[in-house]
Amino acid sequence: MIRVLVVDDSPVARELLMHILNADPGIEVIGSAVNGGEAVEFVARDRPDLITMDIHMPVMDGFEASRIIMETQPVPIVIVTASYDMRELETSFRAIETGALTVLQKPQGIGHPDHERNARSLIATVKLMSEIKVVRRWVRTAERRRPQPAPEVDPICRPFAVKVVAIGASTGGPPVIEKLLASLPKDFPSPIVIVQHMAEGFIRGFVEWLGQTSSLPVHVPFHGSMTRPGHVYVAPDGAQMKMDAGGRICCTHDAPENGLRPSVSYLFRSVAETFGRNGVGVLLTGMGRDGSAELRLMKDRGAVTIAQDEQSSAVYGMPGEAVKLEAARYVLPADRIAGVLTNIVMPGINNENRGGDSV
């Protein structure tokens, strides 16, 4: 039985969340709180297995409450918010910096067309996140912004000029992507394209949050956007994203793949077919298998491919499937991926004038 604390200042929202969660036989709501201060006190006293946390609340907001809980009595936290206000969305993602695991859309009321889908997503996320072993977060300093030391890379990777780095992630991906981008040098010479599975309406807040910690500009592209070296492009809501040979981003309404739009599979396949050995693919933590077969396609076309390892993944679904398919040249902990990317991409660009000859 998963013991859950629901934190929300709205009586209607609290009752709805409690109703949805208690309807599942594997979940028990053991209490509720109307602000972050009450949540901190409840956690110290009753130790729930998981917290659903609203952001905008009186007395103490969800960001501050998440920070205190993760620094004192760490518990898995899922941010649940209904607001698409940019400032509140940024605060939601800042809560992930403190140790919160993911951000979810607050379910619509009973009778709304999206109610059942949102309710299923909430229950599935609560069950999955409750299994994650969280650790105490110490007060962070600017030290974490410094790039990680770059480990040596197999020389076979060095001769190819990298035209694009493609990254795919799902559950647990936002904090990994944030740390990865924050660790890349400001003169990183290749464009980076990202598909992050996320509830509709949250991508712009996610991009704003990434832009606060990365020295690379981060954008939500539009159809026809021209990629630029050292810029990051995150797939927009409800659109598939691919690249053409000229470096333009195409945002389409093509059918979902693996039930998803945007889909990592769709992006990785386009990079494999368009750029071959001049692409790099990175598959991070997430549920399911989106992108795993296409990472293998990228590898078969000569691209460098990386999968996040099991120990550092919140959910080892997508990267685990890639490892099973032998799709990844490198299987790495999250904190080593930025260093490896830097070592792959920078020498690749330096060798561009040699026409890709072997070193």
Report which of residues 139 and 40 the model is more confident about: 40
Of 129, 164, 180, which residue sits at a domain end?
129
Determine, yes or no, domain membership for 137.
Answer: no
With bands split at pLDDT 50, 70 and 90, how would you rate the model's confidence at 141? very low
197 and 327 in a common domain: yes
168 and 266 in a common domain: yes
Determine, yes or no, domain membership for 256.
Answer: yes
Domain containing residue 265: CATH number: 3.40.50.180
pLDDT digits (tens, 9 = 90+) for 228-250: 999 999 999 999 999 999 999 99
The residues with which 196 forms a beta bridge, in sequence order, are 169
Of 129, 155, 189, which residue sits at a domain end?
129
Which of 24-38, 70-84, 208-222, 322-336 shows the lowest per-residue confidence on average (mean pLDDT)? Answer: 70-84
Which of 17-31, 135-149, 207-221, 241-255 shows the lowest per-residue confidence on average (mean pLDDT)? Answer: 135-149
Q: Print the domain residue range for 225.
A: 144-354
182 and 88 in a common domain: no
Which of 82-96, 249-263, 341-355 shows the highest mean pLDDT? 249-263
Determine, yes or no, domain membership for 32.
Answer: yes
With bands split at pLDDT 50, 70 and 90, how would you rate the model's confidence at 180? very high
172 and 54 in a common domain: no
From residue 248, alpha-carbon distances to 233, 298, 346 in Å are 11, 19, 22
* Residue 218 and residue 211 in contact, taking contact as beta carbons nearer than 8 Å: yes
**Mean pLDDT along residues 109-129:** 89
Which residues are annotated as catalytic?
170, 197, 290
Report which of residues 70 and 346 the model is more confident about: 70
158 and 73 in a common domain: no
117 and 158 in a common domain: no
293 and 186 in a common domain: yes
* Residue 241 and residue 251 in contact, taking contact as beta carbons nearer than 8 Å: yes
316 and 292 in a common domain: yes
238 and 208 in a common domain: yes
Of 129, 155, 186, which residue sits at a domain end?
129
Number of C-beta neighbours around residue 215 at 10 A:
16
| Domain count along the chain | 2
**Which two three-digit tokens encode residue 242?**
């691919």
178 and 68 in a common domain: no
109 and 181 in a common domain: no
Determine, yes or no, domain membership for 108.
Answer: yes
Determine, yes or no, domain membership for 134.
Answer: no
Domain containing residue 25: CATH number: 3.40.50.2300
With bands split at pLDDT 50, 70 and 90, how would you rate the model's confidence at 83? low
* Residue 314 and residue 76 in contact, taking contact as beta carbons nearer than 8 Å: no
Reduced DSSP (H G I as helix, E B as strand, rest coil) percent helix, strand, coil of the chain, to 5: 40, 20, 40
Report which of residues 142 and 305 the model is more confident about: 305
Report which of residues 84 and 287 the model is more confident about: 287
Determine, yes or no, domain membership for 338.
Answer: yes
* Residue 200 and residue 356 in contact, taking contact as beta carbons nearer than 8 Å: no
* Greatest Cα-to-Cα distance within the chain, rounded to the nearest angstrom: 66
Whether the predicted pLDDT of 132 surpasses 60: yes
Whether the predicted pLDDT of 21 surpasses 50: yes
298 and 160 in a common domain: yes
Q: According to the model, what pLDDT value does residue 94 have?
A: 80
**Average pLDDT for the chain:** 87
Report which of residues 140 and 207 the model is more confident about: 207
Determine, yes or no, domain membership for 255.
Answer: yes
DSSP per-residue codes, 78-92: EEEE----HHHHHHH
pTM: 0.82
pLDDT digits (tens, 9 = 90+) for 241-278: 999 999 999 999 999 999 999 999 999 999 999 999 99
Determine, yes or no, domain membership for 138.
Answer: no
